A and B are shown apart, each in its own frame.
Chain A
Amino acid sequence: MSDEISQESEVTRRSFLKTTGAVAAAAGLAMTGLAATVRQAEAACGEMPKKWDETYDVIIVGTGFAGLSAAIEARHAGAEVLVIEKMRTHGGNSIINGGEMAVAGNKWQKEAGIQDSPELFMKDLLKAGSSLNHPELARTIAEQSGEALDWCQNFVGARFVKLVFHGGHSVKRSVQTDNASGSGLVNPLFTKAKSMGVKFQFTTKMERLITSKEGRVVGLEIRKGYKFPDDRSGKASFVKARKAVVLASGGFSQNVELRQIQDPRIDSRFDSTNHPGATGEATLAACQAGAMDVQMDWIQMGPWTSPDEKGFGHVPQFCERLVGYGPMIDPKSGRRFIQETGNRKVRADAMMALGYPTIIFGDAVNVKRQVLPHTLEKGMANGAIKKFDTIEELAATYGIPLAALKEEIAKWNSYVEKKKDPDFNCKIFPETTPTVAAPFYACRLWPRVHHCMGGLVIDKNAQVKGFNLKPLKGLYAAGEVTGGVHGAVRLGTCAMLDCVVFGRIAGKNAAKEKNWG
């Protein structure tokens, strides 16, 4: 009883403290709370298992371009390598991408008489990235692009066959795989890794990184027999990484809650081009173990997807081949509204500002020259790409005011003749011809969540940095799980390059680590 009274009087006395005192007290409490949280997190990550179920030199999380490149290099350097994948199939986003990789100074450029260099590439990267790119990282991918392509072709056995252009690049610079899919590289990487003795475990999810008392990453708690997306499925197991862990787990485009924390505009009204497993929990687990994140709110919307088909679809391969060869139109006004060859952010923001799908179209000559027959056939089969015998028909289908549209096409054609677009400065190619020949091919465009530029902080050695600004010993990362390479906006076809270059660096360096125990 007396205790209660004394407590009460204590509170009363405190409640009369001056405001400054109260604020100081609150700040003190907050700090205590924070310290406790950090300690708990440390304890959780540092809690060593009584027994390791399996041991490898290097453990890699993810089976896309980055994870497989890392696996091959680590194995090549003599390490015993395990790759875990939470999904049932390999390849993640990489196996559904367009199979195009930016490479400065490649042989197709030389054949076409196109002048290019890592310096020019670097300039393009920084321009698109609003110079938020970590320069050392951007320079690394620009300078090592040629070597990366050689490795993919000569060592891994992938076949690249064609030079293509992507918006935001100052020259045609990207090379495409023979099947116009990322699978053209992923599958050779996967086959190569298996043939070299890399071990794979599917339906195995990373739960947390395990760190030693000194804060060194020593292994993973995993969940075997995990059935995406059921977090209660599977069974806990512990794998020890004698040398290092490499995170190549991709981005979080499919995690609506996480992406809205970073960019509240991108709610569930926006679909994603990503595979369903791109949910980012490995990124969060790394942060809980002390890894630092950067630029997580720079989330790229792809301006070339169509609301008339699911997922990535065929339209991106139609739209991107056609920019600079045909006009992009606001269907309400019948007018062009954006630089067609502009970067992704410029175009997606313009479409989001309009608030409704827009149209791109081309005539028979330009479409036939630019668009792969396969893309056209598939896009038409699912109804996303439509064929019109006349401009009148096209205008009627999309509800475009005809007179304005005709005027705009005439204007576009005159720009094509002069090879200069005074309205939006669209890049017009030497072989672009006026949009005149029937039939015309068109589709609707509406952006989808495509790429997370932000992620874990790495240095040029692909080593992850901690919140103490020092490398987090034993942890490497590559690909979309990292941030800084692309800055504000990733240029098209640079993800594939980023994954191969930094995947290889991560794999090599992970294998070089000294065994911790």
Chain B
Amino acid sequence: MYTTFIPARSAALCTVAALALLVALPAFAAPKRLTAAKPDNCSACHGKDRVLPDGHPKTAKMTLAACLECHSKDSPASLSGKLPLSHRHQLAGVSCVKCHGTTKKQTPVEAAVCEACHEPAKLAEKTAGVKPQNPHTSPHYGTALDCNVCHHQHAKGENFCMQCHTFNFKLP
């Protein structure tokens, strides 16, 4: 697998305030990511920035499963495409270190790291019914396309197929 591309810093991060569970960032400044941050500790990375809308239940000790009780998949409050995948990973217990390791200088991960948990063939099977085209296999790349081409972890995802096709996939 070739090296994944370095995502743009923060410009494309989520802007939907009502759904800004953990991501209401000051414009153009990504929070400094702390490798030791726990899933329930927003301020570890975001400092004093308000990251949740008023009246939002406390998220300390919440897991992704708990978030999804309100933000269910097909509801208007769905987090799909609105929450950086790194946060979803964190909330599901996948810490920075699990993907990036403990090296001093964090680098983008190779697709093989993603594939250790998300096996391409299985993903393709899971999305076989997606219309008009299975997003996880294509006549061009089969199942070999680097995950990060569409699913950026620290920036908004992008639908790579759209540059030539009209496949309006909703990107997690």
Chain A residues in the interface with B (C-beta under 8 A): 88-91, 95-96, 179-181, 183, 187, 200-203, 225, 227, 275-276, 309-312, 378, 381-382
Which secondary structure dominates chain A's binding surface?
loop
A/B pair count, beta carbons within 8 Å: 55
Contact A88 B164 (CB under 8 A): no
Q: How far is the CB of A297 from chain B (nearest CB, A)?
A: 26
The 10 closest A-B pairs by CB, nearest first: A311-B164, A203-B5, A181-B139, A183-B140, A95-B140, A202-B2, A88-B5, A225-B6, A381-B132, A200-B2
A202 to B146, CA, bound (A): 12
Contact B164 A310 (CB under 8 A): yes
In the complex, chain A residues whose CB is within 8 Å of the CB of B8: 227
Q: Is B142 in contact with chain A by the CB < 8 A criterion?
A: yes
Q: How far is the CB of B77 from chain A (nearest CB, A)?
A: 31
Q: How far is the CB of B151 from chain A (nearest CB, A)?
A: 12
Q: How far is the CB of A10 from chain B (nearest CB, A)?
A: 56
Contact A312 B164 (CB under 8 A): yes
Q: Is B106 in contact with chain A by the CB < 8 A criterion?
A: no
Q: Is B41 in contact with chain A by the CB < 8 A criterion?
A: no
Q: Is B165 in contact with chain A by the CB < 8 A criterion?
A: yes
Q: Is B102 in contact with chain A by the CB < 8 A criterion?
A: no
In the complex, chain B residues whose CB is within 8 Å of the CB of A96: 140, 164
Name which of A89, A181, A312 has the most chain B CB atoms within 10 A of its CB: A89
Q: Is B163 in contact with chain A by the CB < 8 A criterion?
A: yes
CB within 8 Å for A89 and B6 given contacts A183-B139, A309-B166, A311-B164:
no
Instruction: Report which of B5, B141, B146, B165 forms a contact with A311, defined as CB distance below 8 A.
Output: B165
Q: Is B45 in contact with chain A by the CB < 8 A criterion?
A: no
Name which of A88, A95, A183, A381 has the most chain B CB atoms within 10 A of its CB: A88
Instruction: Report which of B139, B145, B165, B166 forms a contact with A89, defined as CB distance below 8 A.
Output: B145
Q: Per-residue 0/1 for B133-149: is the Cβ within 8 Å of any A Cβ (1 yes, 0 no)? A: 00000011110111001
Chain B residues in the interface with A (C-beta under 8 A): 2-3, 5-6, 8, 132, 139-142, 144-146, 149, 160, 163-166
A200 to B4, CA, bound (A): 12
In the complex, chain A residues whose CB is within 8 Å of the CB of B149: 88-89
In the complex, chain A residues whose CB is within 8 Å of the CB of B2: 90, 200-202
In the complex, chain A residues whose CB is within 8 Å of the CB of B139: 179-181, 183
CB within 8 Å for A187 and B164 given contacts A88-B5, A227-B8:
no
In the complex, chain B residues whose CB is within 8 Å of the CB of A378: 132
Instruction: Report which of B140, B146, B165, B166 forms a contact with A88, defined as CB distance below 8 A.
Output: B146
In the complex, chain A residues whose CB is within 8 Å of the CB of B145: 89
Contact B166 A382 (CB under 8 A): yes
A46 to B160, CA, bound (A): 38
Chain B residue with the shortest CB-CB distance to A312: B164
In the complex, chain B residues whose CB is within 8 Å of the CB of A91: 140-141
9 contacts between A and B (CB under 8 A): A88-B5, A95-B140, A183-B140, A183-B142, A202-B3, A203-B3, A225-B5, A275-B164, A310-B166
Contact A227 B5 (CB under 8 A): yes
In the complex, chain B residues whose CB is within 8 Å of the CB of A382: 132, 166
In the complex, chain B residues whose CB is within 8 Å of the CB of A312: 164
Contact B146 A89 (CB under 8 A): yes
Contact A95 B141 (CB under 8 A): yes
A309 to B165, CA, bound (A): 8
A202 to B4, CA, bound (A): 8
In the complex, chain A residues whose CB is within 8 Å of the CB of B142: 183, 187
Q: How far is the CB of A510 from chain B (nearest CB, A)?
A: 22
In the complex, chain A residues whose CB is within 8 Å of the CB of B164: 96, 275, 310-312
In the complex, chain B residues whose CB is within 8 Å of the CB of A310: 164-166
A292 to B89, CA, bound (A): 53
A29 to B39, CA, bound (A): 70
A202 to B145, CA, bound (A): 13
A115 to B119, CA, bound (A): 49
Chain B residue with the shortest CB-CB distance to A183: B140
A427 to B91, CA, bound (A): 64
In the complex, chain B residues whose CB is within 8 Å of the CB of A203: 3, 5-6
Q: How far is the CB of A60 from chain B (nearest CB, A)?
A: 15
Contact B141 A183 (CB under 8 A): yes
A248 to B161, CA, bound (A): 24
In the complex, chain A residues whose CB is within 8 Å of the CB of B146: 88-89
Chain A residue with the shortest CB-CB distance to B133: A378
A222 to B5, CA, bound (A): 16
